[in-house]
Chains A and B, each alone.
Chain A
Amino acid sequence: MTTAAPKHTPKMAELSLGQRLAPWMPVLLVPVLVALGALAIPQTSSWLTLTVSGLAMGMMIFIMASGLTLVFGLMDVINFGHGAFVSIGAFVGVSVLLMLGQMTGAPSLGLNLIALMLAVVGAMAATGAVGWAFEKVIVMPVYGHHLKQILVTMGGLIVIEQLIIVLWGPEEIYITRPEALKGAITFAGAALEKYRLVAVVVGLIVFAAMRFVLRRTKIGLIVRAGVQNGEMVEALGYRLRRVFVGVFIAGSALAGLGGVMWGLYQEVITAHMGNDAMILIFIVVIIGGLGSVEGCFIGALLVGLMQNYVAYIEPKAALISNIALMVLILMWRPMGMIPVVKAK
């Protein structure tokens, strides 16, 4: 006698609010953090200033970190030398700006922007080229071997930092922002630095462009498919290695862009600035979920906001607060906010 299959009784109950919100939780964290900041900082004007600078910082970290997370997602390569591209970008960009001294010194927005564009293009070209060489020389021989990747890319970082010192000298270089981007505008009683607003806009443009490329173009489709299941993409006839080299170069170039922006934000550049930025970049990449661009964006905003709010309330706790944020998020979602599901 056979037993009957258990009775199948599908329920048509609506998903609860919590269930429907769950996928959006990471996105909601940003306004929640902003609201918490508003509660902790009573003066609205300083809260607004801090929020804008937090968003600006977050955008810059996102630009620097996005390449790292994509490179990991696509090829399982963890690049500890990513910070070197930030430094190279900053040094090349600043050198270009210093050469164009009369253009940046003039109080005309157009001339300033042209100079800035040239600096950015120079920096991105340089870091893209270095990224290509880095991939060929340093990363390629150690595919599929995490331990060696960490060691070798760390070695690459040291060499590049030292070469920067050889080429530009060991002293830190102080720079001033282009004339039109100096100063602040006042909005609702809060002083908002012009440069930070520009950084927010640039960050949003980069994020939008990246999302467009990843979601709406064929190459983006291949990259996303490669993140999920590389073997399958190769079986379908695409050379994932070439795509990967492209992504590596693009990621390095973005790190260079981030480096120029970060250098102008700090108004001083040093050879080890990239390595210092790496600390925040790693936190962002981990809490976002390794391989996820959206997670990286949200994580960067959270880290930027957190850093600025806490630095205002208790300056010494700023870096610790970000580590606490990372710990909390890993307790909630051990693989990061938006974990990348690998089909393996």
Chain B
Amino acid sequence: MFRSILSGDMPRSAVLSILLAVIFACLALAPFLFPGVRSIDTAARICVFIALVASYDLLLGYGGIVSFAHTMFFGIGAYGVALALTHMGRGFDAIIVGSVAGAVVAALLALLIGLFSLRVRAIFFAMITLAVASAVAVLASQLSGLTGGEDGLTFKLPRELGPAFKFGTEMFGGELFGVKLNGKLLAYYLVFAGALVLFLLLLRIVNSPFGRVLQAIRENDFRAEAIGYRVVYYRVAATCLSAAAAALAGSLYAIWLRYVGPDTTLSMELMIDILLMVVIGGMGTMYGAVIGATLFVLAQNYLQNLMGAASGLVEGIPVLPQLLSADRWLLWLGVLFILSVYFFPTGIVGRLRSGR
């Protein structure tokens, strides 16, 4: 039963199993374990990013293809939900239509880009996605009539997902273990369940025969072609699947934030964050996405304060305060990124698995 839920891909390391179980339990019970607006927000972000990073890992870790357009697909999903909810009214039908439409558009766009670039050289894909993604980001901020431009779109969710909606008043008196039973709780569990389903689906995909072929192509595309697999088809299919999954993760993010804007969904910074999460967690393992996303989001939320404090400590010494200030967070991430590509190419999960 448990094996088949995980598609036969067990963590294969005691430490990793415990870590995953702890993360799962914390996320599943987050509203009860860590009440408070900020910590719930962090938990929801972790859920969304696990799904998003897992979808990117399908491309980077399993397919060996570097894409810089993943935030674009993420953004398409988010804008899909936002536009549907703005124009169709606040209903669950709008959410479904928006996310399905977003996923389809993302997959089609991925198909187009993939057919253009992957048939010649996998390396073209990285450059072309970079160009297309930045063009789309510029376009999204220019077409302000449709997308709200730089300000983005704020929209209303169905009433059932808002804090004003109360339930269980007669059964539990409106509270369970001191947590108010309202729509915000439902929204969290919608995001959690969505991310969980997406993650398990992706796990299923990479452990299917299709996933095997992708890994074979990553290791040696020439040989895979010689055995008789059409490398281009597999690569394009992986791109489309990963784009659709990213778009669905984007829909979840939009549902949680009740807002979309170019900075939160389309920016280059976000793309770099995703790359870091995949590399730190471990490329080529879906569990790496879980570990990477969790660590990264936690660090982003809580470590930046620490850096600010450290910068305060070294006040007076030239250059050092600037190097340590919280705004230079990206500098240290870059260093960490380079070092982990050199020294831990298999990431945390790879380390844990080999250190058995």
Contact = CB atoms under 8 A, between A and B. Distances in A.
16 contacts: A138-B338, A141-B342, A147-B66, A150-B123, A151-B337, A156-B338, A158-B333, A163-B331, A276-B134, A279-B134, A282-B130, A282-B131, A316-B142, A319-B138, A320-B139, A326-B128
B151 to A, nearest CB: 17
Interface string B106-135: 000000000011011111101110111011
Given A156-B338, A286-B128, A323 B122 contact: no
A144 interface: no
B342 A166 contact: no
A323 B130 CA distance: 11
Please classify the interface of chain B as helix (H, G, I), strand (E, B), loop, or mixed, using the class held by over half of its residues: helix
B341 interface: yes
Contacts, number: 102
Interface in A161-218: 161-163, 165-166, 170
B303 to A, nearest CB: 16
B319 interface: yes
Contact of A327 (B116, B279, B333): B116
Contact of B330 (A154, A162, A275, A322): A162
A326 B135 CA distance: 13
Interface string B137-149: 0110011000000
Contacts of B333: 158
Interface in B309-349: 319, 322-323, 327-328, 330-331, 333-335, 337-338, 341-342, 345
Contacts of B128: 282, 286, 326
Contacts of B123: 78, 146, 150, 290
B116 A286 contact: no
Contact of B319 (A148, A155, A166): A166
A330 interface: yes
B340 to A, nearest CB: 9
A148 B345 contact: yes
Contact of B338 (A146, A155, A166, A320): A155
A159 B337 CA distance: 10
B237 interface: no
Contact of B126 (A150, A163, A165): A150
Most chain-A Cβ atoms within 10 A of its Cβ — which of B130, B323, B335? Answer: B130
Contact of B334 (A155, A170, A278, A323): A155
Interface of B: 60, 64, 66, 116-117, 119-124, 126-128, 130-132, 134-135, 138-139, 142-143, 268, 272, 275, 279, 319, 322-323, 327-328, 330-331, 333-335, 337-338, 341-342, 345
A166 B331 contact: yes
Contacts of A290: 123
Given A162-B328, A279-B134, A152 B338 contact: yes
Give the interface size bracket for A toward B: 35 or more
A162 B64 CA distance: 28
A285 interface: yes
Nearest to B66: A150
Contacts of A142: 341-342
A163 B323 CA distance: 8
Nearest to B330: A162
Interface string A57-90: 0000000000000000000001010000000000
B331 A285 contact: no
A227 interface: no
Most chain-B Cβ atoms within 10 A of its Cβ — which of A138, A154, A290? Answer: A154
A273 B132 CA distance: 17
B324 to A, nearest CB: 10
B130 A158 contact: no
A166 to B, nearest CB: 5
A285 B128 CA distance: 11
Given A162-B328, A166-B322, A275-B268, A146 B131 contact: no
B142 A162 contact: no
A331 to B, nearest CB: 8
A152 B337 CA distance: 8
B341 A148 contact: yes
A148 B124 CA distance: 15
A283 interface: yes
